Amino acid sequence: MIARISTLTLAFIICSMQDIHASLEIDAFTADYPAAVAQLTCIGHPPNVRIVSLGGVINTQLDSIPDIALVAAHGLGRNADQCVMSFQGHKLGVSRIQKGQGGDVDGDWAVLTLNGRFPKHIRRLGWFSDVANNWESFAIKGGRVSLLKFANGEIGKSCDIRIPRGGMKDSSDGNALILSDCLSLPGMSGAPAIVEVNGLPTIIGLSIGTRYDLTPPPLEWRSRANLIRLVDTVVEDAIVRAIALELI
């Protein structure tokens, strides 16, 4: 019985996202969108070290289930009960974690199920799978995205970035990563990278670190680049599973 409910739930969730997935109307997103980022704080090693990063809260289209967030895996501590996500003074613990697999940087992502929901005024974001929607065609055309971030401890304005053509780097999955020319500061890991899909701000990836290789050798170290882990079908499946588990 549980398996049957799970299958029906997955089908419902996938169908509910078809309005976004059916269209390739992808545009740059440059407007201010300050209320879409929550801060993740975890206990690291040794125990007195705090790890601070960011995460985008997912629009599941279901108000009856806990919030679900997409974050960078390296921002997590050893135990879910030692992590807290906060938004404008509201704090939620973490009940479930699904992490990317493998030692490569394309596995540096995690989907969190939170203990409750943030206030309604947080702007939850839809997600966009690059494989299902031919994301590469947008990147090849020099499409611009925005990286949501914090400024001076508060949620700040978005930062426009441009994806270099042929910029896929350092991945066991050649389509999982892209480079941008936006600086990534400490504490910005997990910041959602967004575009506009059908007129809605939509997560297409998350910031996972920096590199020095936008400039060709031997001067590549002079150009610091932001590394973005795209939302592909692997990440999308984890989001769908997280939603399904709350409906069973």
pLDDT for the residue numbered 198: 81
pLDDT for the residue numbered 11: 52
Using CA atoms, how far residue 142 sits from 63, 136, 169, 205, 226, in Å, is 36, 10, 17, 16, 16
pLDDT for the residue numbered 246: 93
Residue 33, strand partner residues: none
Whether the pTM exceeds 0.85: the reply is no
Of the pLDDT bands very low, low, confident and very high (cuts 50, 70, 90), residue 136 is: low
In this predicted model, which residue has the larger pLDDT, 201 or 78?
201
pLDDT for the residue numbered 5: 46
Q: Which CATH superfamily is domain 126-230 in?
A: Trypsin-like serine proteases (2.40.10.10)
pLDDT for the residue numbered 219: 54
Share of the chain above pLDDT 70, in %: 66
Share of the chain above pLDDT 90, in %: 31
Poorest-pLDDT segment among 7-16, 200-209, 226-235: 7-16
CATH topology of domain 2-16+36-124+233-247: Thrombin, subunit H (2.40.10)
d(CA 125, CA 121): 12
d(CA 33, CA 20): 19
**Does residue 244 register a pLDDT over 60?**
yes
Poorest-pLDDT segment among 1-10, 75-84, 124-133, 229-238: 1-10
pLDDT for the residue numbered 159: 72
**Does residue 52 register a pLDDT over 70?**
yes
pLDDT for the residue numbered 113: 96
**Does residue 85 register a pLDDT over 80?**
yes
What residue spans in the chain does CATH classification 2.40.10.10 cover?
126-230
pLDDT for the residue numbered 200: 84
pLDDT for the residue numbered 117: 97
**For 91-134, what is each residue's pLDDT tens digit?**
999 999 999 987 678 899 999 999 999 998 888 999 987 654 56
pLDDT for the residue numbered 111: 97
Per-residue pLDDT, averaged over 199-225, amounts to: 70
CA torsion sign for 13, 135, 201, 117 is positive
What residue spans in the chain does CATH classification 2.40.10.120 cover?
2-16+36-124+233-247
Of the pLDDT bands very low, low, confident and very high (cuts 50, 70, 90), residue 20 is: very low
**For 156-194, what is each residue's pLDDT tens digit?**
667 777 665 554 545 566 567 777 777 677 788 999 988
Per-residue pLDDT, averaged over 221-243, amounts to: 84
pLDDT for the residue numbered 36: 81
